[in-house]
Structure 1
């Protein structure tokens, strides 16, 4: 494992906190990250994550944005206050890219859209920022980019449908139908 840590440039503190309410996903990710040289601990809720951070502040964290008992941004904020040098990755789904950008502004190092695999997570955690990441294998479709843009404006308008429709120059009912559907692939 020490050779893996050196080759991955994890550093002297391999502690990693994984926070996600999908128990199967977080368990699988923990095993994969352990094989890469990290020392993962998992939490399934905001409450559990905050409790763990009070006991130990990890050098790395991967935090789901939406958890059953609250918002992952609360965990990001607490970890950033507790350990300023922690590398924090926010996982997001449901078209919440705008909120993920807000997480980066709050102190997260980066964000990844779900589903993300262990290679994506490792790359994001260890990225130095000096080089551009390689282009994605499966970039978002034009429909997905449009949907993400609508979601971003919707979040910026504090989820006010009428205001979002006005700013996007579209009919309010059309926007409501778009918001009611799942995002395209």
Structure 2
């Protein structure tokens, strides 16, 4: 039996609410809270996969290639509360069709799965990013380049590992 949606998120409450909302619209939904259950659920050939960027302390980007291999016809959207340009680029390079920042409405999520190409009509931000935001984006990019390895990233940035961990533990800087 084919599955409409697979929600991969370690926030069980969020996934349950989203699952009920999708169910009310007539979709069949399964929830996975970790890598093993996500890969097992891919056997049901979900048409749409919503992947959280942070899965129990791990990066969802590490799971993305394995999901694509298990379900090459599945459309994958990455959803995160810690959006950055670096992770958005990396997610699309790894095969995600879209990247959304939380909070996103159900309509936003459904629209993301339907979008095949970039939208040239989106407005460009009128202000440049703040220095703090640029720093955050740079940290995320270097971290992605080193496969999420904190120690290797700290060496590349020529900083102490604990300092980098403290910086990464903070929420992204808002614009």
| TM-score normalised by L of structure 1 | 0.69
Correspondence for 1:33 among 22, 33, 36:
22
- Distance, in Å, in 1 between the alignment partners of 2:15 and 2:90 is 23
Q: Residue 107 and residue 37 in structure 1: after superposition, are their counterparts in 2 closer, same or farther (change >3 A)?
A: same
TM-align CA RMSD: 3.3
- Distance, in Å, in 2 between the alignment partners of 1:37 and 1:145 is 42
Q: Residue 136 and residue 71 in structure 1: after superposition, are their counterparts in 2 closer, same or farther (change >3 A)?
A: same
Q: Residue 73 and residue 155 in structure 1: after superposition, are their counterparts in 2 closer, same or farther (change >3 A)?
A: closer
Counterpart in the other structure of 1:102: 90
Q: Residue 140 and residue 22 in structure 1: after superposition, are their counterparts in 2 closer, same or farther (change >3 A)?
A: farther
Deviates more, 1:33-42 or 1:58-67: 33-42
Correspondence for 1:45 among 29, 34, 59:
34
- Distance, in Å, in 1 between the alignment partners of 2:75 and 2:121 is 17
- Distance, in Å, in 2 between the alignment partners of 1:121 and 1:23 is 18
Question: How far did 1:72 drift?
Answer: 2.6
Q: Residue 27 and residue 77 in structure 1: after superposition, are their counterparts in 2 closer, same or farther (change >3 A)?
A: same
Instruction: Return 5+ residue gaps in structure 2 as ranges.
Output: none
| TM-score normalised by L of structure 2 | 0.73
1:148-167 deviation line (CA, Å, top 9, x unaligned): 233223433554224225xx
Deviates more, 1:175-184 or 1:102-111: 175-184
SS at match of 2:46: coil
Question: Computing the radius of gyration over CA atoms, which structure comes out larger, 1 or 2?
Answer: 1
Instruction: Return 5+ residue gaps in structure 1 as ranges.
Output: 1-12, 166-171
- Distance, in Å, in 1 between the alignment partners of 2:21 and 2:67 is 23
Count of residue correspondences: 164
Deviates more, 1:127-136 or 1:42-51: 127-136
